[in-house]
Structure 1
Amino acid sequence: MKTFFFTVWLICSAILARAQYATGDPPIVSNNKQLVFDLEPDTGLYIDSMGRVSKPEDILSQDFVPMASVPFRKKIPRRLSEVSFYYRFRIQNPDTGMARLYLYPGMYHSDMDLFYLNDTGLVREKDLKPREGFVSLQIPSGMNREYVLCLTLTRSDNNTLSARLIRPSYLDDYVRQLTTYAYNRKVVGFVTCGVLIMMLAFCILNYVSSRKPEYFYNALFSIFMFMIIFAYAQYYNKPGRTFGEFFGYWWLILLHIGYMCYIQFSRKFLDTTNKDKTIDRLFRFEIAALLVLMLAYSFVHFFTKEVKWDYYLETIMKITVVGISIIYVIMGLKNKDRLMNYLAIGSAFNVAFAFIALWLQTQSTSSTRVLGSSIFYFELGIIFSQFFFLLGLTYKNRVALIDEIKYKEALRLNQEKAAYEQQLAIYKAQQSERNRISADMHDDLGAGMTTIRLYSELAKKKIGDQPIPEIEKISNAANELLVKMNGIIWSMTDSNDSLDNAIAYIRSYALEYLEHAGIRCFVQIPDRLPRFVLNGELRRNIFLVVKEALNNIVKHSGATEVHISLNKEPLGLSLTIQDNGKGFDGQNIRRFGNGLQNMKKRMEEFGGEFSISNQNGTLIRLYKQTRDQSFL
């Protein structure tokens, strides 16, 4: 039906405009400063939609209409892609020299043949200096020549009709003018290309360092999108069959290959093979569907003349790409996976901009404004999808980093636990050996020393009033050795490894020792003691320091009272020993200097502090910082 109305329109236009075309004066081409000659007002156009022209001579009998009267010449419908178009125009060269010019017939034509009319009929013009997208012609001096141009269009939605003559010296500038007519659109395109190059470099570097396949597929997606956008920014509106084929066929193929890479990237990025088999099967089906459509479209495009099927398949392919993005959005809304949400948001923007781009492509005229360009919204969709990919990647890397830290922390804790258990086993083995040794000392050595002491006391009683000094020394030595051995046994027994046990032992020893020396002893202990575990070495060091301090008091202080206090400190505990003797003589330290040094050294071995001062006698302070503050 559309073809019928189109044919009726051509017939009516030919009847109304034939006289106007026939009486027009031919354009005059002379060696003046004019570089471009507009032939459209003086060019007749015939569209052979019915296939009436079988040979070039048949065109002379057809009815031409003025090209300027054709409303769709700036955007030729796709259904006319396989139809032959004929231009008919005259050119006059009044100069004495040969006029060499290039004819620009419009955008994206696949075949062009130029003829001129002489007395014998139509003669093919030789294209002496071919230039893609243009036809060269030569007009002899003083000649008024009529030309006929036969051309066919590429299968593209961007074909146009035009008729301009350009001087060879200005041809490059004219091509540059055609490709830069929408400068703002080109700038946006190159900016988008820059973004894609950065994404490409980012993905390649990450793929090289991590060998993760999602970076590889996203890099491929960036490459194909870059090729499309760069071609539109650099070569859009550039005449020639090559560019017509690209914007009519290859850009769609690159788009589909890019989206297949994007789907494959999504599979790897979301790890659907292991996490969601249903979504993974859906992704693989989408890749297969795009591949089948791409092969079918290629077959129809290259091996058939069915333009309508070419158009239908192209439309289906575009809708399929948009549909895939819609599927992403739906899955993202249903799925609670945050990675999927990021891809869904990017796809939502892609869908919105894709609908705008498709709507703009259906318009009969194209705009040079950025906001009126369909490729601009395509670029926005790509940028937003990559932006949300980066957000998703940041989230994924953060989660991976947290998981790695948790794994390392768990591994460290397990190693520390194993080391602690090993140390605990060693400690238990050592403690068991200590307990055995202390038991043996108590049972064997203790019994032996007690026997020696008992026999020495019996010997002293038998000799009566004539004591033997050696027997007295044996008795005293046995007694002292028994006390020391009891202290060693106490320090080696693990059942005594607590603060309250250590304080009780020190209290008992101090009271008994000072009582024998005739010195009153007062011991002050807090009501609630912390549950500290004090190993045998630590308990023994503290006891020996206290023992040395009490020994010095008995020997040198002349005191009658001693106060022993366990005090709570802001960060630990202190044990003070205060006597009411004559005090500490700093000038006469040599008498017990080694003892003080040993006391200080013993405290420093386990991180404690030792101090001695004069304060109404002698004050000795032992301090140990502790982590447990619950009793303070």
Structure 2
Amino acid sequence: MRRLICIFVFTFSYGCMMGQSLADSFAIDVSSFKDACSIKDKCDILIDSDNTAHSGNILQRQWKSMADFKGLKLIPATWINGTVYVKFTLQNSSALNDTVYLYPGNSFRSIKLSKISPAGNFITLKDESEEDGFQPIFLSPLEKTTYLAELHFSKRKFNSLALQIIQKSYLTKYQKILYTSSYNEMVIGYLLSGLLLMMIFFNGANFSVNGKKEFLYNCFYAICMFILIYFNTYTERRSGVFSSFFMGYLGFAVLVIGTVFYIAFTRKFLNTSINYPLLNKIFYYEERVLLVLLAIYSYTYFFSGNFRLTSLLENGTKMICLGIGILYVIIGIKQKNRLINYLAIGNAILIFFSIISFLLIIFPVRPAISIFTSALLYYELGIVCELIFFLLGLTYKNRIELIEKIKEQEALKLEAEKQIFESKLAILNAQQDERNRISTDMHDDLGAGVTAIRLFSELAKSRLGKNTIPEIEKISFSANELLNNMNTIIWTMNSSNDSFGNMVAYIRSYALEYFENTGINCSVNIDTNLPEFVVNGEIRRNVFLVVKEALNNILKHANATEVWLTLKRETDGISFYIQDNGVGIDFENLRRFGNGLKNMKQRMTKSGINFSIENKNGTLVTLYAKLTA
């Protein structure tokens, strides 16, 4: 019993001495400053790299002064893999309550703060740092307390340890200064985020209009880059769980996913499966390798404490993306295709700015001379330049597709017109075949019958001699007239006669034969430089009937002895003159002509030929046809 009491007294006394010694060493009087105070030189630090420290042994572990790490620029991997403990003492020498905030920096995924009682016990404070990384500490009047901060660094290579105590009244101003210390970078970051947001709407609108998958993939890529740039800008100087998670994992995951979407977009946009099979195969395997590496990286981040492996996977993935990007640029620039050249140049600019950004991270310029020493700025500029060249490529592709579409429409239009023309031609050919068949039948059947009637009537007339019956004479005349008209009809219906030269020859032959044995001398004059062109059967028939009517009027009414038929080539057409030396035409008394003159005008108007008749040393009938080129 006495032994137990001694042990208890010893333990209590040791705890009081330990608490007293801790409270007395480097005590920071919070009432002695009104804004912020660095506690780096007034605290001790314990690096628990194997995570074996706990409340029962932590105070007995080997602590070091933070002053020993004054020249430390980068946080070692052992600190990130393990747990970092910081021990410091705060004192409130005033007679009023006071609240201050612990700010260890913006590189922590969790902050756990505990009080160390004089007996060496740990009293864990409520964690209020998850949102912004600032942990409040309440101090009573004249209170002096030692605190233990358990810190877990963000799983990223570039971490820092600030260790600041901030007065409550100064906290808002401190945060404002902290968040806006890189104001120009923030403005540019948010401006570029706005441009990416426009790209998202642009690609989304294009996909909704035409349904092309490349716009959907580029939209997802723009979304990933928007998240990356916007939250990089937002979290660069901020603290808290989300900022730590984004800077440690989410930013890289979004970058990889965005790269996968960009590869998918490139494959669709360039149609690499058909146009560039080798490049398509490279992209295909790169997509899958990146997704596998992202899965492994996610597993090591969440379920492994090996930061070196996580960092190796991250850097290896970035190197693969860089290598594939350089290969793509080389292949793209070698191609003689402007579309792939645009994308290759955009990727080359992104790679160039990414290298500058990486060098500025490895070899930072201190102090920052201007905004152009910001590593993030160059990467953001690279992304925007890449999207600008995408727009140039899209404009070029749309122009080419528009030209091809117009060509295709014109080809379809020509094909449709060709089919219509062929249909009309088939109909005309069918009609012409039918005309030829009818003319052949008329010549073979009707012609033979009418010729027989004419012969029989002539035989009857010869046998009767002077006792010829008038009706037989009429039959012979009518048969002869019918045979001539039928020959004319057969001539107009036969397609083999559809030429200007044939029509001229037929009219010349008819005129000479018509005035034979009539006492009227007929002369036909034809220019030698007349063109040759197609004259369809209807026009040939109308012209022939007008000529026939004119010759008939000359024979019956003109009392002429001479007739001249002249066919002459004019500047822009052809003129046909029928001139006689008869008594002329009496325009005041046209009853003797009946409907002949009226029918002649109608036929020529229907055929598109100018018709005129006048007195000129007899009667002059003029037909004029204008020739089109």
TM-score clears 0.5: yes
Q: CA deviation at 1:107?
A: 0.8
Aligned in 2, Cα 1:128/1:555: closer, same or farther, shift over 3 Å?
same
Q: CA deviation at 1:500?
A: 0.6
Render the CA deviation track for 1:155-199: whole Å, top value 9, x for unaligned: 124433224444556645644543333233233333333333333
Aligned in 2, Cα 1:50/1:270: closer, same or farther, shift over 3 Å?
closer
1:181 maps to a residue whose letter is: S
Q: CA deviation at 1:239?
A: 0.8
Render the CA deviation track for 1:277-308: whole Å, top value 9, x for unaligned: 43333222111221222122223222323222
Render the CA deviation track for 1:546-596: whole Å, top value 9, x for unaligned: 223333444555655544444445555443445556666655566657434
**How far, CA to CA, are the matches of 1:584 and 1:175 in structure 2?**
116
**How far, CA to CA, are the matches of 1:560 and 1:93 in structure 2?**
148
Q: CA deviation at 1:154?
A: 0.7
List gaps (5 residues or longer) in structure 1. Answer: 1-20
In the TM superposition, 1:151-550 aligns within 5 A as: 151-168=151-168, 171=171, 174-364=174-364, 367=368, 369-457=370-458, 469-514=470-515, 518-550=519-551
2:435 maps to a residue whose letter is: R
Render the CA deviation track for 1:572-624: whole Å, top value 9, x for unaligned: 54434455566666555666574344334333445x13231547365544444
**How far, CA to CA, are the matches of 1:584 and 1:45 in structure 2?**
137
Counterpart contact for 2:105–2:160, Cα < 8 Å: yes
Counterpart contact for 1:108–1:241, Cα < 8 Å: no
**How far, CA to CA, are the matches of 2:580 and 2:32 in structure 1?**
130
SS at match of 2:106: coil
**How far, CA to CA, are the matches of 1:602 and 1:54 in structure 2?**
120
Aligned in 2, Cα 1:51/1:469: closer, same or farther, shift over 3 Å?
closer
SS at match of 1:500: helix
**How far, CA to CA, are the matches of 1:317 and 1:205 in structure 2?**
32
In the TM superposition, 1:61-76 aligns within 5 A as: 62-66=63-67, 70-72=70-72, 76=75
1:530 maps to a residue whose letter is: P
Partner of 1:26: 29
Indicate yes or no: 2:96 matched with 1:97.
yes
Q: CA deviation at 1:22?
A: 6.5
Partner of 1:108: 107
Counterpart contact for 2:128–2:134, Cα < 8 Å: no
**How far, CA to CA, are the matches of 1:38 and 1:579 in structure 2?**
130
Higher mean C-alpha deviation, range 466-475 or range 295-304: 466-475
Q: CA deviation at 1:505?
A: 0.7
**How far, CA to CA, are the matches of 1:479 and 1:236 in structure 2?**
114
**How far, CA to CA, are the matches of 1:410 and 1:78 in structure 2?**
68
**How far, CA to CA, are the matches of 2:480 and 2:26 in structure 1?**
149
Give the length in aligned residue pairs: 601
Aligned in 2, Cα 1:536/1:64: closer, same or farther, shift over 3 Å?
same
Counterpart contact for 1:29–1:91, Cα < 8 Å: no
Aligned in 2, Cα 1:616/1:52: closer, same or farther, shift over 3 Å?
closer
**How far, CA to CA, are the matches of 1:213 and 1:506 in structure 2?**
72
**How far, CA to CA, are the matches of 1:321 and 1:599 in structure 2?**
89
SS at match of 1:238: coil
SS at match of 2:138: strand
**How far, CA to CA, are the matches of 1:360 and 1:615 in structure 2?**
106
Counterpart contact for 1:78–1:307, Cα < 8 Å: yes
Aligned in 2, Cα 1:45/1:421: closer, same or farther, shift over 3 Å?
same
**How far, CA to CA, are the matches of 2:473 and 2:183 in structure 1?**
119
Partner of 2:135: 135
**How far, CA to CA, are the matches of 2:615 and 2:252 in structure 1?**
98
**How far, CA to CA, are the matches of 1:277 and 1:128 in structure 2?**
56
Aligned in 2, Cα 1:169/1:516: closer, same or farther, shift over 3 Å?
farther
Higher mean C-alpha deviation, range 185-194 or range 618-627: 618-627
**How far, CA to CA, are the matches of 1:24 and 1:96 in structure 2?**
17
Aligned in 2, Cα 1:504/1:259: closer, same or farther, shift over 3 Å?
same
Aligned in 2, Cα 1:609/1:195: closer, same or farther, shift over 3 Å?
farther
Q: CA deviation at 1:85?
A: 4.2
Aligned in 2, Cα 1:506/1:249: closer, same or farther, shift over 3 Å?
same
SS at match of 1:476: helix
Counterpart contact for 2:98–2:140, Cα < 8 Å: yes
Counterpart contact for 2:26–2:42, Cα < 8 Å: no
Counterpart contact for 1:109–1:152, Cα < 8 Å: yes
2:484 maps to a residue whose letter is: V
Higher mean C-alpha deviation, range 540-549 or range 123-132: 123-132
Aligned in 2, Cα 1:209/1:140: closer, same or farther, shift over 3 Å?
same
* TM-score where L is the length of structure 1: 0.82
Aligned in 2, Cα 1:511/1:111: closer, same or farther, shift over 3 Å?
same
Aligned in 2, Cα 1:138/1:585: closer, same or farther, shift over 3 Å?
farther
Aligned in 2, Cα 1:484/1:218: closer, same or farther, shift over 3 Å?
same
Q: CA deviation at 1:134?
A: 1.0
In the TM superposition, 1:564-603 aligns within 5 A as: 564-569=565-570, 572-579=573-580, 587-588=588-589, 592=593, 594-603=595-604
Higher mean C-alpha deviation, range 225-234 or range 446-455: 446-455
